[in-house]
Chain A
Amino acid sequence: MHETTILQVEGLVTEFKSERGIVNAVNKVSFDLERGQTLGIVGESGSGKSVTNLSILRLIEYPPGRITGGKVLFHDQDLLSVSENEMLSIRGKHISMIFQDPLTSLNPVIKVWKQIAETLMLHQGMKKQEAKKQAIELLRIIGIPDPEMRAECYPHQFSGGMRQRVMIAMALSCNPDILIADEPTTALDVTIQAQILDLIREKKEQYQTSVIMITHDLGVIAEMCDQVCVMYAGRIVERAGVEALFGSPKHPYTRGLLESIPRMGNVGTQRLHSIKGSPPDLANLPPGCPFRDRCDKAMDICASQLPPEVVLQEAEGERTVACWLYPQEGKHGRA
């Protein structure tokens, strides 16, 4: 753990009970988040990226879900073992979250200012009038035109982009150490997406917030993040600095993902690369590497043994890969 590490996730395991058995949605996930850093978590649906972050905030509904292992160290305390009351004072104040769909995550029958003020009254102990003033100020900061009038509106009177701005205003209201953004722009159009990404970047710089950015969009990762974790079937298969990851992807899954996106300015007559098959059933994971059935580099060992995370020392910094193609190149990491 470096001095600047603000959050350390170690061996996190989250399971869900389903009719077909135990689903290991998150399977021994470990990563560090540094102060002021933007960490991207990228993966396809069902790869466990959202569940990882819901687990950090202990927002997993039980039953069917349960965090069964690991540690989440934040300011030297393990969030997985603190009391629910302590957790309440951490959520929204020290670690806050914005969700993909701003319409369902705002309360439709409460005026916008009240929803923002609620956080301020709870965590900052503000009185109602003071909190209202601050809420209007936050709306102004976040770029809502005519904030005094807009504060009196209900969420349905806002457009998708404005609603996401409100979510960001709420999330930043207590100046949190960490902002978790779960697909914050997936529901938005590209020009509005550009506005929102710009806003997150600007506020992050201004308040020195660390950001965890969850997305399936490799373009968003490239534009926003410093470090990237690639998740597949509940595990992190590769973790590296953004330029190293895009410049020379090591894991066959990362490579396949990067090759399968159509690129702008590359008007294609040739076929796109594609990863064969589809992601495995998490309730019924075979032994060995979960990616091996889709991997064009699969070897015998991949079918029987799960590849450990291997740390590679590179010029650009550290990288970890969980793939048998890189067995001896470095010391084993936290498998």
Chain B
Amino acid sequence: MAERETLLEVRDLKVHFPLEKGILFKRKVGAVRAVDGISFTVQQGEALGLVGESGCGKSTTILAISRLERITGGEVLFSGVDLASLSESDLTRERQNFQIIFQDPYSSLDPRMRAIDIVAEPMSIFVKKGLLSLSEEEIKEKALSLLERCGLSSIYANRYPHEFSGGQRQRIGIARALSLGPKLILADEPVSALDVSIQSQILNLLKDLQKEFDLTFLFIAHDLSVVEYFCDRIAVMYLGNIVEMASSKELNDNPLHPYTRALLSAVPVPDPIAAKKRKRIILKGDVPSPSAVRPGCPFYERCPKAMPRCKEVKPILTEQGKNHQVACLLYEESSDA
């Protein structure tokens, strides 16, 4: 892909949740380091995927970028403006440029609102705040055309969420996210709750919309094949850190980090002949608690290639080949030598 301008730049983003003890006099006893200093950029028109297992901090990253979660440290530069330090009112104005699509199409729509009102609500709010000038009629018209663009016929516009299937609800959620004409879509597991046959419909819709509206995506999914299909580049997260980042093809063909390798090999492939031939890397144990303070590599305990040094030195993301970064001492040493 040709070099395009950077739309989003995240620098050393940290989100820590304090752990407190005591009832009357709370004192801080530690912190859950949900996101522990990550940096990445997203180019205009690109789709960057964040993958990792539950608790790795991928959803918190999205919530922090949209300031729905308090940022502990770092910068979130959106078209050069630092979202982390904006005042509430400036932030509201900026919000029309980035919108979220949520995972659960059941709980993310107000059950007492009609489909058309759900899609119209962001516009109505912006009109009320004087940030947008549209008449009621125009809002309604736009909401209708968005619903239709997302594959819901206008005869459904006056129905309530419970009258729709999961896939149709996700279409409403997508139409709502598009209503303010955003540049960046933060998609948090947008197809995880859907059945396979519906999942492909929604993925196709998102791809079409990306082209049509020149959208940029930060896309989260735990399903690696979905992320690989949808995204140009992928960042692999583990315990609040990015451990590897590369283009989708490069990551699949040439994974470097032991965690990425294990993750890729753990995905069941829908091909019985290939499945029998494949050698899987089975990781031991579970993801450790993100509240423990550890000096070394976050993956140390479960890593099949761990060295004594990994316990003490935390590896940083370093360039390994073109557009391929990895945070692992295995590769730092080879580049030193």
Q: List A139-184 residues whose CB lies under 8 Å from chain B.
A: 145, 159, 161-162
B230 neighbours in A (Cβ, 8 Å): 262, 268
* A265 on the B face (CB < 8 A): yes
* B88 on the A face (CB < 8 A): no
Number of A-B residue pairs with CB-CB distance less than 8 Å in the complex they form: 134
A161 neighbours in B (Cβ, 8 Å): 286
> Contacts A194-B280, A222-B268, A262-B229 known; A44 to B222 CB distance under 8 Å?
no
Interface string of A260-275 (1 = CB under 8 A from B): 1111111110011111
Give which listed residue, A189, A195, A261, contacts B270 with CB less than 8 A: A261
Within the assembled complex, what's the spacing in Å between the Cα atoms of A247 and B196?
A: 19
Q: Which of these binds chain A: B20-28, B131-139, B271-279?
A: B271-279
Q: List A111-164 residues whose CB lies under 8 Å from chain B.
A: 145, 159, 161-162
Interface string of B53-71 (1 = CB under 8 A from A): 1100000000000000000
* B333 on the A face (CB < 8 A): no
Within the assembled complex, what's the spacing in Å between the Cα atoms of A243 and B275?
A: 11
B302 to chain A: closest residue by CB: A191
Q: Which of these binds chain A: B10-18, B246-254, B305-313, B321-329?
A: B246-254
* B199 on the A face (CB < 8 A): yes
Q: A191 to B283, Cβ gap below 8 A?
A: yes
Q: List B240-258 residues whose CB lies under 8 Å from chain A.
A: 248-249, 252-253
A221 to chain B: closest residue by CB: B270
Q: A197 to B268, Cβ gap below 8 A?
A: yes
- Main DSSP-derived SS at the B contact region: helix
B269 neighbours in A (Cβ, 8 Å): 219, 222-223, 263-264
* B200 on the A face (CB < 8 A): yes
Give which listed residue, A44, A192, A195, A265, contacts B196 with CB less than 8 A: A44
Q: B266 to A190, Cβ gap below 8 A?
A: yes
* A248 on the B face (CB < 8 A): no
B262 neighbours in A (Cβ, 8 Å): 191
Interface string of B185-201 (1 = CB under 8 A from A): 00000000001111111
Within the assembled complex, what's the spacing in Å between the Cα atoms of A275 and B204?
A: 11
Q: A267 to B249, Cβ gap below 8 A?
A: yes
CB distance from A221 to the nearest CB of B (A): 7
* A258 on the B face (CB < 8 A): yes
Within the assembled complex, what's the spacing in Å between the Cα atoms of A192 and B272?
A: 20
Q: A264 to B267, Cβ gap below 8 A?
A: yes
B165 neighbours in A (Cβ, 8 Å): 278
Q: A194 to B266, Cβ gap below 8 A?
A: yes
Most A CB contacts (10 A, CB to CB) among B53, B252, B266, B287 go to: B266
CB distance from A244 to the nearest CB of B (A): 9
Give which listed residue, B198, B199, B275, B283, contacts A222 with CB less than 8 A: B275
Q: B168 to A274, Cβ gap below 8 A?
A: no
Within the assembled complex, what's the spacing in Å between the Cα atoms of A256 and B287?
A: 36
Q: B199 to A198, Cβ gap below 8 A?
A: no
> Contacts A189-B53, A189-B222, A271-B207 known; A257 to B197 CB distance under 8 Å?
yes
CB distance from B132 to the nearest CB of A (A): 33
CB distance from B91 to the nearest CB of A (A): 33
B75 neighbours in A (Cβ, 8 Å): none
* A107 on the B face (CB < 8 A): no
Q: A278 to B248, Cβ gap below 8 A?
A: no
CB distance from B130 to the nearest CB of A (A): 41
B199 to chain A: closest residue by CB: A260
Size category, A interface: 35 or more
A258 neighbours in B (Cβ, 8 Å): 270
CB distance from A91 to the nearest CB of B (A): 29
Give which listed residue, B248, B252, B263, contacts A190 with CB less than 8 A: B263
Q: List B207-237 residues whose CB lies under 8 Å from chain A.
A: 207, 222, 224-226, 228-230
Q: B197 to A243, Cβ gap below 8 A?
A: no
Q: A262 to B266, Cβ gap below 8 A?
A: no
* B37 on the A face (CB < 8 A): no
Q: B270 to A222, Cβ gap below 8 A?
A: yes
* B73 on the A face (CB < 8 A): no
A194 neighbours in B (Cβ, 8 Å): 265-266, 280, 282-283
> Contacts A190-B224, A267-B248, A271-B204 known; A219 to B268 CB distance under 8 Å?
yes
Q: B268 to A220, Cβ gap below 8 A?
A: yes
Q: A268 to B229, Cβ gap below 8 A?
A: yes
Within the assembled complex, what's the spacing in Å between the Cα atoms of A164 and B286?
A: 13
Q: B268 to A267, Cβ gap below 8 A?
A: no
Q: B252 to A265, Cβ gap below 8 A?
A: yes
Most A CB contacts (10 A, CB to CB) among B197, B200, B229 go to: B197
Within the assembled complex, what's the spacing in Å between the Cα atoms of A257 and B262?
A: 27
A145 neighbours in B (Cβ, 8 Å): 285
B315 neighbours in A (Cβ, 8 Å): none
CB distance from B306 to the nearest CB of A (A): 16
B267 neighbours in A (Cβ, 8 Å): 190, 219, 264
Within the assembled complex, what's the spacing in Å between the Cα atoms of A271 and B200?
A: 9
* B330 on the A face (CB < 8 A): no
> Contacts A262-B225, A264-B225, A278-B167 known; A242 to B270 CB distance under 8 Å?
no
Q: Which 7 A-B pairs have the closest CB atoms?
A: A219-B268, A262-B229, A189-B53, A260-B200, A44-B195, A194-B266, A274-B200
Known: A190-B266, A194-B280, A261-B270. 5 other contacts (CB 8 A): A44-B198, A190-B263, A198-B280, A223-B269, A246-B270
Q: List 25 A-B contacts (CB under 8 A).
A: A161-B286, A189-B287, A191-B266, A191-B283, A198-B280, A216-B195, A219-B267, A222-B269, A222-B271, A223-B268, A242-B272, A246-B271, A246-B272, A262-B226, A262-B230, A263-B229, A263-B270, A264-B228, A264-B252, A264-B264, A265-B253, A267-B229, A274-B201, A275-B201, A278-B197
